[in-house]
Structure 1
């Protein structure tokens, strides 16, 4: 009884925290969109290219975090795959903006490759585990059918 009450309280606090975090992220997203709109009319693209690009990439990151918050409220959890997708895209965007340091580019490229390999392994393992589960269900079904037929033959 106490654990059930504790679990409900934890879920309420977690939901409220996610809601506040989502509102804050959405606020930052709107702020960045507003700044981009202002830069559209006032900025000199050749002089401020890196600042504008950084702001655009930051806006996309806030957008992705808002989508993660939305996923939490719709599905009651956030999938690990989405975190990996966001990490990969964030690092790719980072490569677009900061490409002056050769060693840094190499390290980020290796990190992106490693994250892609981890994502592939994770998806393969999930698919493999699902196949094993379905194989067990199929085996149980076939076993039940065979025993039902043998019982019917024995009764006749």
Structure 2
């Protein structure tokens, strides 16, 4: 009886792994679509006559492009490593995302301090992980 349940367990894990892989592929394709849509938007904004008034729109479009690009990189890394993504890679994504938010956020000083503090905490986390947790790991893929 135990063999039967082990067999069902193995089949279920394979099935769910395939569903997860296919879902990542679909999400990746959707992100590629949005990535090209942002490229098209940036190109049309670049050829508009009065580009000085569209500064924040162009900046927002560029930042959106890089967000889609990072999510695509995350999906590619996840597919390559069979669903596993490095913690340092995820922290690095968080740092770059918060830096992008910091570039466009100009409303309140408290918000700027909170975002800056969050960036500092994530950087400290990356340093601690590299120095004390992953000391013997020389894999440059995390970075």
TM-score interval w.r.t. the shorter chain?
A: 0.7 to 0.9
Higher relative contact order (CA 8 A, sep 6+): 2
Q: What does residue 101 of structure 1 align with?
A: 108
- Structure 1 stretches lacking a partner, 5+ long: 132-156
Q: CA 1:44/1:70 → structure 2, altered by over 3 Å: closer, same or farther?
A: same
- Picking from 3, 20, 23, the partner of 2:29 is 23
Question: What SS does structure 2 have at the residue aligned with 1:42?
Answer: coil
| Corresponding position: 1:116 with 2:123 | yes
- Structure 2 stretches lacking a partner, 5+ long: 1-6, 138-143
TM-score by length of 1: 0.77
Q: What does residue 63 of structure 1 align with?
A: 69
Which structure shows the bigger proportion of residues in helix conformation? Answer: 1
Rg (Cα) greater in structure: 1
- Picking from 123, 127, 135, the partner of 2:134 is 127
The residue correspondences of 1:132-147 to structure 2 (distance < 5 A) are none
Count of residues in Structure 1 that have an aligned counterpart in Structure 2: 130
TM-score by length of 2: 0.84
CA RMSD between the two structures? 1.5
Per-residue deviation, 1:122: 1.8
Q: CA 1:83/1:43 → structure 2, altered by over 3 Å: closer, same or farther?
A: farther
